[in-house]
Structure 1
Amino acid sequence: MLQSFLKTVLLIIFLPIYTFAQNKDSIQKRAVAFVADKFPSTRILNVEYTTLSPYDFKQKLDGRDLSENKMKNFQQIKANANFYFFKKEKWTISTSLNYKYTTLDAKDNNSNFGYLSEKNNFHYHSEAITASHISSLWNKMAIYTATFSVDGNEKSFERARGFLTGSLMLTANERTKLILGLAVIIDPSTQVPVFPVISYEHKFRNGWIADVILPKRVQLKKDVFSNGRIAFGSDMDISSFYMNKNNKTYEYRQTEINTGVTYEHKIGAFIGTVKTGVRSVPVARVFDKNDSFNNYLYQARPKSSFYINFGISYNPFVNKKNK
C-alpha cells in the first residue's frame, strides 16, 4: 500500500468528517464545506493515466557503480476506489482498493538489475480496511483510525501492514481549516515509521486557496470558469511493485515529486483532470521484500523528466451550493 498510503491518509481524515458532519451543527458541520466541495481531496472512484518523457538514470548494484542507463518509456495506469460501508454513531469502517499497471522500457546495456533493462509490465494491487472514530479532545474534534492493509502482484499477496493515526481539528471555519495529527506505520520495510500529518487550507479574498497537506502536497488553487479549477504546486507520491527473481521476491520502490500545473473540470458527479510538469525522483531502490528499504540490492537516481497525467473520477458527495 505504500504507493497509495498518502492518499489513504486523506481518506482516513476527511471521509469520517463528512460522514458525521451531515446532521450536526458543530465544528463538524463547518468542516464539511472543505470535504464535500466541487473538487474533494479524496475521490470515491478514480482512474488515471501517466506517461513520462525519456530520462537518464545513474545506478548501483550491490554498492558498485554501473554505467548510466536510459529509460525510453515509462507509463502507468492507476485505478482506486475509496468508500465506507459501515456507519454507527461516531464510528465508520471504510475501505480503499487500489490497482496499478506499470510498463517500462529501458535501454538494454546489460548493466543493471535485469528487470529495468528491457520492456516489462508489472501489476500491483493493495487493499485496506480502516476503522475510524470521532470524539472530542480539549473541546476540539479528534479523529482516531486504525488501518490494516495487504498488497501484492498478480501472482500473490506479498505484505501486510498496519497504520495508526490520531488527528485534531484545531480550526474549522469558512476561511481556514487546520488539522494536526500523528501517523504510525507498522511495517519493517518503511523508511519513516512515525511522522506528523498536517492539513492546512486557507481561502484568500482574491479567490486563491492555499492547500497544504504534509507530507502529501503543497498547492495554490483557484476556481476558474463555471466548473473548473487550476492549481500550481508540488505533490508527492510513492510508487512500488514486486518482482520475482531466482525464487525470491523483490520490491522496487521510488519516491516521486511532481511539480507543475493541474486543471480539473466538473461535469455532474464526474471530474476530469489534466496534470503536467516535471517529475523528480530522489532515489529508487530494489530490495528483498523481507528487508528494509535501506538494505537494498540495486539503486537508481533518475534525472528529472516531464510528465502528463489524464484522469477521471466520480464523487457523489456534492455540496449543493457549489453545483
Structure 2
Amino acid sequence: MKIINKPLLTLAVLVLSNAAIAQSQDTSATTKLVDYAADKFPVARNFNIEFNGSGAYNFTSKLRGVDLPSGKTTRWLQTKVSTNINLIQSKSWILGTTFTYRGTSFAAKLDAPVAGLDNWVDDRFHYHASSLNLTHISKLFGKTAIFSGSLIVDGSEKRFERVKGLFTVNVVLKANAHTRIAIGAFGMLDPSSDLPALPTFTYEHHFDNGLIADITFPRNIFIRKNVFGNGRITLGTEIDRTGFYLYNQDNSGKTYEYRQVDLNNGLIYEHKVFKNFIITAKGGIKMTTAARVFDRKESFGDFIYESKPDPTPYFNIGVSFNPFGKKKQ
C-alpha cells in the first residue's frame, strides 16, 4: 500500500500548488509552490509524525470467493512518519526526495473457527516508501502548468518490494484572490494499480464570511475556516490508504500485499505554534470502501481475500515541523 497514498498525495500537492504561483511577484514560483504545499498537507512539510487509531468494529470477509464467519477488529493503531527535502531548487525546477514510514498494529478475530486458517491475528506490520521527485513549472496553452515525475521504491522491514513511477501534469485555469481552479491528470507505472491514469480537478473559493471551499478530486472535499489567529478548522471527508506486505501466509512462499482504502469523515483542527510547528487533531467516522489481500505480482482487483468493515470512530494526532516556515499573520 502506498503510505498515505504517496502518488495521490503528491498529485494533490502539485495541483493545489499551482494557484500559489500567481500570488507573489517578488518570490520565485518554486518557492511559492513549496510554501503552499506545506500549508495544505502535513506530509509535504520537512518532517511530520502522526498517531492514529479507530474503535473496535465488526467485519465480514471472503477468501477466494467463499464467505468466512463474521469477525471483529479489536485494535487498529498506526504511527506515520514522513520527511520531505528539496535537494535542488531553481526558478522553475525542484529536485527533491521523500521518505515515508507507517507502522500498523492490528488485532482481529473470526467469530467461528475455519479449518486451515488462523482465526486470530495480532501483529505489527511495517511499510516504507522512498521517492526521488522532479518538478518543472512551465506554460501550456498560455496557462501556468506543472509537470512532475517521481521514482518510488517501497517495501517492508524485510526487503524492498516494488519500483513504481508517477507522472503528473496540472494546468491552472483561474487564480485570483478569491477563486482557484486547476485541472490535470496523473499516470502510474505500477502493475498493482487498477487505475493507471486518472483526471484531477481542484476548486478553491474564499467566501466573504471567511469560509473556504477546498475540493481536490479525488482526494478530499473540505470546508475550512481560519480561527484563533494561528488556527484552522476543517469539516469534510478525505481519502486515506493503508497497506503492508505479508509473507508466508499460506506456506506457499509467496509475498502478498494488504491494501485498505478509507474515507475519513469529520473535523480537523490545526494550530501553528511559534513559527515552525503545527499541531493537528482529527476525529470523526471512518468508512472503509475496500480492504483486500492480493499477490504482490498481481493487481488490487485480482484479490484472494476481501473484507468489508463496519463504519467506526477514528482519531488522529500529529505534529509537523518546517524550519523554513513563516509565522502566520
| Both proteins in one fold, TM over 0.5 | yes
Classify the secondary structure of the residue corresponding to 1:274: strand
Q: For the structure 1 residues 271 and 30, does the alpha-carbon distance in structure 2 shift closer, same or farther, using more than 3 Å as the test?
A: closer
Measure the CA separation in 1 of the matches of 2:115 and 2:143: 53
Measure the CA separation in 1 of the matches of 2:156 and 2:118: 15
Superposed, which structure 2 residues align to 1:34-49 within 5 Å? 35=36, 39-41=39-41, 42-49=44-51
Question: 8 Å contact 2:155–2:161 — kept in the other structure?
Answer: yes
Classify the secondary structure of the residue corresponding to 1:188: coil
Q: TM-score, normalised by structure 1?
A: 0.91
**Which residue does 1:127 correspond to in 2?**
130
Measure the CA separation in 2 of the matches of 1:62 and 1:30: 50
**Which residue does 1:91 correspond to in 2?**
93
Measure the CA separation in 1 of the matches of 2:171 and 2:119: 43
**Which residue does 2:320 correspond to in 1?**
313
Question: 8 Å contact 1:31–1:172 — kept in the other structure?
Answer: no
Q: For the structure 1 residues 9 and 111, does the alpha-carbon distance in structure 2 shift closer, same or farther, using more than 3 Å as the test?
A: farther
**Which residue does 1:262 correspond to in 2?**
268
Picking from 281, 287, 293, the partner of 2:288 is 281
Picking from 57, 60, 81, the partner of 1:79 is 81
Q: CA deviation at 1:17?
A: 8.0
Q: Deviations over 1:139-198 (max 9, x none)?
A: 211111111101000000011111110110111111111121100011111021110122
Superposed, which structure 2 residues align to 1:9-48 within 5 Å? 9-13=11-15, 24=25, 28=29, 35=36, 39-41=39-41, 42-48=44-50
**Long gaps (5+) in structure 1:** none
Q: TM-score, normalised by structure 2?
A: 0.89
Q: For the structure 1 residues 53 and 260, does the alpha-carbon distance in structure 2 shift closer, same or farther, using more than 3 Å as the test?
A: same
Measure the CA separation in 2 of the matches of 1:254 and 1:177: 32
- Do structure 1's residue 249 and structure 2's residue 255 form an aligned pair? yes
The amino acid that maps onto 2:10 is T
- Do structure 1's residue 299 and structure 2's residue 306 form an aligned pair? yes
**Which residue does 2:230 correspond to in 1?**
227
Q: CA deviation at 1:117?
A: 2.6
Classify the secondary structure of the residue corresponding to 2:306: strand
Superposed, which structure 2 residues align to 1:45-60 within 5 Å? 45-60=47-62
Measure the CA separation in 2 of the matches of 1:276 and 1:179: 29
The amino acid that maps onto 1:253 is R
Question: 8 Å contact 1:260–1:276 — kept in the other structure?
Answer: yes
Q: CA deviation at 1:138?
A: 2.1
Question: 8 Å contact 2:74–2:108 — kept in the other structure?
Answer: yes
**Which residue does 2:178 correspond to in 1?**
175
**Which residue does 1:158 correspond to in 2?**
161
Measure the CA separation in 2 of the matches of 1:233 and 1:224: 17
Measure the CA separation in 2 of the matches of 1:32 and 1:270: 19
Question: 8 Å contact 1:46–1:80 — kept in the other structure?
Answer: yes
Question: 8 Å contact 1:243–1:250 — kept in the other structure?
Answer: yes
Picking from 218, 225, 239, the partner of 2:221 is 218
RMSD: 2.7
